[in-house]
Chains A and B, each alone.
Chain A
């Protein structure tokens, strides 16, 4: 247990569906992250939030929409995805105060887009 939970753990959706991924951290951290892990590429950063403000968007298509209502919760809203978006989506958190900033990861949501 890393203190970062993600739901659902598995998700199958059609290209016209709308779904949301949820991440919650119980570590008192202020920074949260979404990463994408696919078979063909190394782990890719998608978004970074620090104190609820988005600080990085790594050229992610608009069909992925993040939301960070508070420092403990992070969502990834999915809309009209493509089959190539099938991947493991990992959430992470860190203290958010600069310096070493060790990131702690959740177990991931494995997404399959049909």
Chain B
């Protein structure tokens, strides 16, 4: 199967760390992505990780991948009000040759001042 699941909502205080979680079901070789969507806008690519990696860090963003549990997380350090948005986890499958991304339903992050 190709289900990608995320919790729907997360609220944090400004300056705290945010951790957004995602689970997927397909264990084949895959790229996993995090996209951000602000109100009225399209999807902005934040970062991606290949399934043979455990971790990737990019400035305030840290992606952790637990392949055994099929669990992906996005940690945002020092969360700011500008980080308030919907965050989508997505995967693509190299072995099927399909180009399309399978998206989760998105996690709405609310950052309180």
- A residues whose Cβ falls under 8 Å from a Cβ of B: 2, 4, 6, 31, 33, 42-43, 45, 48, 50, 55-56, 58, 90, 92, 94, 96, 99-108, 110
Give the interface segment out of B12-20, B54-62, B70-78, B92-100.
B92-100
**How many whole Å from B63's CB to the nearest CB in chain A?**
14
Chain B residues whose C-beta falls within 8 Å of the C-beta of A45 in the assembled complex: 100-101
The interface residues of chain B, by DSSP majority, are classed as strand
**How many whole Å from B43's CB to the nearest CB in chain A?**
4
Cβ-defined contact, B42 with A107, below 8 A: yes
Cβ-defined contact, A105 with B88, below 8 A: no
Contact partner of B98 (CB less than 8 A), chosen from A56, A103, A107, is A56
- Which chain B residues numbered 26 to 68 have a C-beta less than 8 Å away from chain A? 31, 33, 35, 40-45, 48, 50
Chain A residues whose C-beta falls within 8 Å of the C-beta of B42 in the assembled complex: 2, 4, 6, 90, 105-108
Q: List 16 A-B contacts (CB under 8 A).
A: A2-B44, A2-B45, A6-B42, A42-B4, A42-B103, A43-B90, A48-B100, A92-B43, A99-B94, A102-B31, A103-B45, A103-B101, A105-B42, A105-B44, A107-B41, A108-B42
A-B contact count (CB 8 A): 59
B80 within 8 A of A: no
Bound Cα distance from A56 to B97, whole angstroms: 11
Cβ-defined contact, B43 with A105, below 8 A: yes
Bound Cα distance from A110 to B103, whole angstroms: 19
Contact partner of B31 (CB less than 8 A), chosen from A100, A107, A108, is A100
Contact partner of A56 (CB less than 8 A), chosen from B33, B99, B104, is B99
